[in-house]
Amino acid sequence: MHDDRWTPPRIMLAVDLVILTLRDARLHVLLIERGVAPYQGTLALPGGFLRDEEEDIEAAARRELSEEAGLVDVHLETLGVYGRPGRDPRGRVVSVAHLAIAPSLPEPIAGTDAAGACWMPVQEVLSTEAELAFDHQHIVRDGVERARGKLEYTALATAFCDETFTISDLQQVYEAVWGVQLDPRNFYRKVQNAHGFITPAGPMRRAEKGRPARLFKAGPVRVLNPPMVRSAQATLPHSAKASRS
Amino acid sequence: MHDDRWTPPRIMLAVDLVILTLRDARLHVLLIERGVAPYQGTLALPGGFLRDEEEDIEAAARRELSEEAGLVDVHLETLGVYGRPGRDPRGRVVSVAHLAIAPSLPEPIAGTDAAGACWMPVQEVLSTEAELAFDHQHIVRDGVERARGKLEYTALATAFCDETFTISDLQQVYEAVWGVQLDPRNFYRKVQNAHGFITPAGPMRRAEKGRPARLFKAGPVRVLNPPMVRSAQATLPHSAKASRS
DNA sequence: AAAATAGTGTCTATAAGACACTATCAT
DNA sequence: ATGATAGTGTCTTATAGACACTATTTT
């Protein structure tokens, strides 16, 4: 079928990171201004090549997460493979994209590298045309889609929160990621009924403006049952809908 | 931070295929007996290296699908990346696993290559220890998990069926992939209520033993609403459960 | 007291699961 | 007629969404 001397082609393997977080109730993604060609000066996802032939892919992703964003111990999962020929002018580069979820952080970045790192609202990234380097806008879109879907049937939302959080903190996550408004009363009930989703974190409380809320921490369960269905209606209590009757 | 002459390592990229189908109401996966080292003589997933540096990854997967299984025009999606160092004794090989779903086929294989190809019940593959080459058992497990999950909220089940099919054909898919038994009456209602899941295919029918059934074809919708929830109970009408009362 | 957020309860529509019943074929 | 599979209807229970109401804080 083919030449006996044939050997497989060698390609370059990169990891890219879609790092999502919440900043003032809006979903943001971490972008870095590229310092070198190609796409010098253009915004791009943090990432880089495998360091050597022995490095594990997830280890490389965690290394970039630490080097470029100063993040450790955050949720990290494989998002997909992006390897279309021609996506990188340097040659055949196949990138393994990862999705990372970080709790809200005060600083834009506390990392070591990456002077030009910034948190950018996802909405802006996805609405603009040809703003990001490579196929990174497409990767961001896929990452956000993944997060939206997993919020429904897994406990991923807690990855956006600090160690302890209130139920409205959690609601803000759902509202920001899904881009909808939810009824706090029904949300409260659904979260409580999802067995193992959240567990009380001591009798502590926290205040600021209204009645102090109970604190919770992530529960033991990763798959929600019943799931937090994102059904058709966005539950804007009784507004909008335009005039109808 | 690093040497100016540093260049990224070059790795070998492979594609592997988890091809699932139904054979006499059981879920099967296509395996091939390896003809060359490493793992010569061991069962493995069909797959192979990228042919050249220009070949697109999905194109390579479709090529292997055709060469090794004789399949064209079947459902194909990326499953994941398997690149742990040491998984292949030939060096650093990163494999992009794909999930393919084929309708029931009479022949074991009609392909060109692959003399030693065979359909193997998934249950056997997953229950045996260290039976498959490389990390392929793990990949099969992930592929089956993916299929199980997607059956719930997408129209993937129709990919297991021929162009036209009956509702019990579809039910067999769910029962085989999930490994449960479902009530035909409730299944009928749920499938019909999932808007756009299936559409009638002419006034044609088909018979064999009982009353002829209506024929349907895959509908336009890819995401099911409402989903086909695989809830806790397996709905074995009124059997088993062991003696209890 | 007023404003604001936290948390509970109640009502209604919808969907899931259990299962009786009717329909249409081959033999 | 009988057996087998297809398809419909009905009942009960659980859950989603709408929303009234109570609780606990700050100002």
Cα A1 from Cα B113, distance rounded (Å) = 9
Closest CA to B191 of B165, B163, B162: B165
Q: What is the pLDDT, as a whole number, of residue B244?
A: 29
Instruction: Tell me the C-alpha to C-alpha distance, in Å, between residue B16 and each of A57, B39, B88, B135.
Output: 18, 15, 13, 11
Q: What is the pLDDT, as a whole number, of residue B129?
A: 73
What mean pLDDT comes out for the span B206-230? Answer: 90
Q: What is the pLDDT, as a whole number, of residue A206?
A: 76
pLDDT at residue A7 above 80? yes
Cα B82 from Cα B132, distance rounded (Å) = 15
pLDDT at residue B5 above 80? yes
Q: What is the pLDDT, as a whole number, of residue B153?
A: 92
What mean pLDDT comes out for the span B155-168? Answer: 96
Which residues lie closer than 8 Å to B143 by C-beta, 6 or more apart? Answer: B18, B20, B29, B79, B97, B99
- Assess B55–A contact: CB distance below 8 Å, yes or no: yes
pLDDT at residue A232 above 60? no
Cα B29 from Cα B45, distance rounded (Å) = 9
DSSP for B9-66 reads -EEEEEEEEEEEEEETTEEEEEEEE--SSSSTTSEE-SEEE-SSTT--HHHHHHHHHH
pLDDT at residue A18 above 90? yes
Q: How many CA atoms lie within 13 A of A137 on its CB side?
A: 13
User: Contact at 8 Å (CB) between B39 and A67?
Assistant: no
Cα B46 from Cα B66, distance rounded (Å) = 11
What mean pLDDT comes out for the span B72-96? Answer: 97
| Cβ-based neighbour number of residue B138 at 10 Å | 16
Task: Specify the higher pLDDT residue, B155 or A111.
Answer: B155
Size of interface A-B (CB pairs under 8 A): 83
Structure confidence by residue, pLDDT tens digits, A86-104: 999 999 999 999 999 999 8
Q: What is the pLDDT, as a whole number, of residue A205?
A: 78
Q: What is the pLDDT, as a whole number, of residue A1?
A: 57
Cα A46 from Cα A212, distance rounded (Å) = 38
- Chain A nearest CA to B167, separation (Å): 26
Lowest mean pLDDT among A175-179, B34-38, B170-174, B227-231: B227-231
Q: Identify the band that residue A3 occupies on the pLDDT scale cut at 50, 70 and 90.
A: low
Question: What is the nearest nucleotide to B188, using C1' and CA?
Answer: D7
Q: Is the peptide bond before A108 cis (omega within 30 degrees of 0)?
A: no
What mean pLDDT comes out for the span A18-35? Answer: 95
Nearest-by-CA chain B residue for A14: B8
Task: Specify the higher pLDDT residue, B129 or B66.
Answer: B66
Identify all chain A residues contacting B84, using CB atoms and an 8 Å cutoff: 56-57
Percent of chain B scoring above 90 in pLDDT: 78
pLDDT at residue B115 above 90? no
Phi-psi bin for B162: left (phi > 0), alpha (psi -120 to 50), beta? beta
pLDDT at residue B79 above 50? yes
pLDDT at residue B4 above 80? no
Cα B190 from Cα A171, distance rounded (Å) = 31
- Assess B236–A contact: CB distance below 8 Å, yes or no: no
Which residues lie closer than 8 Å to B152 by C-beta, 6 or more apart? Answer: B224, B227, B228, B229, B230
Q: Identify the band that residue B204 occupies on the pLDDT scale cut at 50, 70 and 90.
A: confident
Q: What is the pLDDT, as a whole number, of residue A110?
A: 52
Cα B27 from Cα B10, distance rounded (Å) = 38
Identify all chain B residues contacting A10, using CB atoms and an 8 Å cutoff: 10-12
Q: Identify the band that residue B111 occupies on the pLDDT scale cut at 50, 70 and 90.
A: low
Identify all chain B residues contacting A59, using CB atoms and an 8 Å cutoff: none
User: Contact at 8 Å (CB) between B189 and B182?
Assistant: no
Closest CA to A32 of A119, A104, A98: A119
What mean pLDDT comes out for the span B25-45? Answer: 94
What mean pLDDT comes out for the span A21-26? Answer: 94
Disruptive mutation site among B3, B7, B16, B50 for chain A (greatest number of A CBs within 10 Å): B50
pLDDT at residue B40 above 70? yes
Q: Identify the band that residue B202 occupies on the pLDDT scale cut at 50, 70 and 90.
A: confident
pLDDT at residue A45 above 90? yes
What mean pLDDT comes out for the span B226-232? Answer: 81
pLDDT at residue B239 above 50? no
What does the DSSP 8-state code read for residue B214? E
Q: Work out the mean pLDDT of chain A and round it to a whole number.
A: 89
pLDDT at residue A241 above 70? no
Cα A14 from Cα A237, distance rounded (Å) = 46
What mean pLDDT comes out for the span B146-168? Answer: 96
End-to-end CA distance of chain B: 71
Q: Work out the mean pLDDT of chain B and round it to a whole number.
A: 89
Say yes or no for a CB contact (<8 Å) between B12 and A14: no
Go through chain A and tell me how many residues it has.
245
Which tokens in the block code for residue B232?
Answer: 């806790």
The CA dihedral of A89, A90, A95, A100, to the nearest 10 degrees, is -90
